[in-house]
Chains A and B, each alone.
Chain A
Amino acid sequence: MDLVALRGVSFAYSGAPVLLEIDLVIREGDFLALIGPNGSGKTTLVKIILGLIEPSSGEVEIFGRPPAEFSEWGKIGYVPQKATHVDPYFPASVEEVVGMALLARNRRRGARGGQARAEVRRALETVGMGGFGKASIGRLSGGQQQRVFIARALVTSPRILFLDEPTTGVDAETQASFYDLLGRLNRDEGLTIVLITHDIGIVTKHVNRVACLNQRLVYHGDHEDFCRSAAFRDMIGRGDHLISHEH
């Protein structure tokens, strides 16, 4: 089943083109790495899929509907880029932060009720933060905060997960266990994952699909084919664009 379909999607910020004629289909079970240099439009593309930005032209469908008509937002998990720029003085507890996302499923009840609390606990355990429910989000390290945001994206048991550079500022060991977790969710629970990353290493290890963006969709296909493709050699040749970067 196609979870996401883009047909001829273009986008410009006040005249300056960012995306040109993107055709992209994301199928159930895909673990897609979305790669490309800084400013190539990766974040913009995901925001268009989520209906946060309207494309200048072209069609977007998510679960078979245009984002404006879509309402089951609990089926989608999202970790925005720079999610960890948390106000250190914001008094929210980790439980409160994770529970927020339950509003996507039930606008009134949100995180209230025993079942919701159990789901929050389970999501935190999944990312190895089970003991931190009562902790204040501002007092966690950057990597711990990132795990909490991933738990928040998982708490509604989504069918598809969008992660925008989720491991920026996360140590190597945590990164490795994080990617193992994603791999497990994808394999065992059939979770579809779209991962924006600059880390070419992960691309060769866990994912099964690659989309390479540079205003246009330069490459989209299986990860094995990608490794043999001209686009990949281009990428490696321009490796300076692909190392992870600070914002």
Chain B
Amino acid sequence: MQALFAYGFLQRALLAGVFIAVACAVLGVFLVLRKDAMIGHGLAHIAFAGVALGLFLNLLPLAAALAVAVASSLAIVKLKDRAGLHGDTAIGIFSSLGMAIGILLASMARSLNVELMSYLFGDVLAIEPLEVWLSIGLAATVLITVRLNYDQFLFVTFDRESARAAGIKVSRLDALLMVLAAVTIVLGMKVVGILLVAALIVIPAAAGLQVATSFGRAVAASAVIAVAAVAGGLALSLALNVPASAAIVVLCFAVFAALFLIKKRGRVPPGAA
């Protein structure tokens, strides 16, 4: 095992994976409590169009995916506000459109298919040095932004009306959170792929929420669970020769299930009384 960590590719995967996992887990707690959990799924599908576009135009796919996901996340916020659509409807519209455009682009340039597959299913062990530094930089930016706006995000998530009455610019924070989610999801896509990235957003957060009595603890627990799952998943992937993405997601779920069972045995769920 020691010798394995000498491999550059593994160090890179672990480093990028840990940063991205923490960003996903922290944002996940806010998104889950806002009942926006499926935004992860939706934006990942939208990012698929960006990846295909990047490959098609010979741009860095990660950068193209970022641009498309961020633009769409803002469009979703606007659509929600202006058209009075429910959040999940707006997400549904954009995510299927994104997937459709991705498929069109992919079919127009047949040679891309192999690389596109790596984005669908994730291939963190193949992550390139440039992407590692980009990922770490962006994940760190996301975390710092959340830290700076943490109290405001918490207030808005808990009670929008009172937050507005306290003079907080709620729609600006909504847009900021969506942009952060878009960036994070595109990064998460590098780790577990488009099809599984929602898991990194939702499952650690849901697991952390099982055991937390304060918001701060929920965030911390979610981050620890995500990091453990990424590290454990990479180890499992090497030991058993299975895809890292699937191993990471299965581990996330195992932790969630364990915490759920412990809590169910231990005490009455909140609000049941």
Contact = CB atoms under 8 A, between A and B. Distances in A.
A104 B209 contact: no
Interface residues of A, number: 35
Q: How many residues of B sit at the interface, in one of the four size bands?
A: 20 to 34
Contact of B270 (A52, A73, A78, A88): A88
Interface string B87-130: 00000000000000000000000000000000000000000000
14 contacts: A52-B165, A80-B165, A83-B159, A88-B271, A89-B271, A91-B209, A93-B213, A93-B214, A96-B216, A100-B159, A103-B152, A104-B166, A110-B151, A139-B273
A107 B273 contact: no
Contacts of B133: none
Contacts of A108: 148
B218 to A, nearest CB: 5
Contact of B158 (A71, A88, A92): A92
B215 interface: yes
A78 B165 contact: yes
Interface string A41-56: 0000000001010000
A89 B155 contact: no
Contacts of A92: 154, 158, 214-215
B222 to A, nearest CB: 10
Nearest to A141: B273
Nearest to B272: A88
Contacts of B271: 88-89, 138-139
B154 A101 contact: no
A238 B201 CA distance: 54
A93 B151 contact: no
A90 interface: yes
A82 to B, nearest CB: 9
Contacts of B213: 91, 93, 134-136
B33 A90 contact: yes
Contact of A91 (B163, B212, B269): B212
Given A87-B33, A88-B270, A92-B215, A76 B151 contact: no
Given A91-B213, A100-B151, A100-B155, A71 B167 contact: yes
Interface of B: 33, 148, 151-152, 154-155, 158-159, 161-168, 209, 212-218, 269-273
A111 B155 CA distance: 11
A73 B217 CA distance: 29
Nearest to B165: A78
A95 to B, nearest CB: 8
A122 B164 CA distance: 24
A152 B162 contact: yes
B270 A50 contact: no
Given A103-B166, A104-B166, A107-B152, A91 B159 contact: no
Given A96-B154, A107-B152, 17 more contacts: A50-B165, A70-B167, A78-B165, A80-B162, A87-B33, A88-B271, A89-B209, A91-B212, A91-B218, A92-B158, A96-B216, A100-B155, A100-B158, A103-B151, A138-B271, A139-B271, A152-B162
A118 to B, nearest CB: 17
A97 interface: yes
Nearest to A152: B162
A96 B166 contact: no
A166 to B, nearest CB: 13
Contacts of A73: 165-167
A88 to B, nearest CB: 2
A12 B272 CA distance: 40
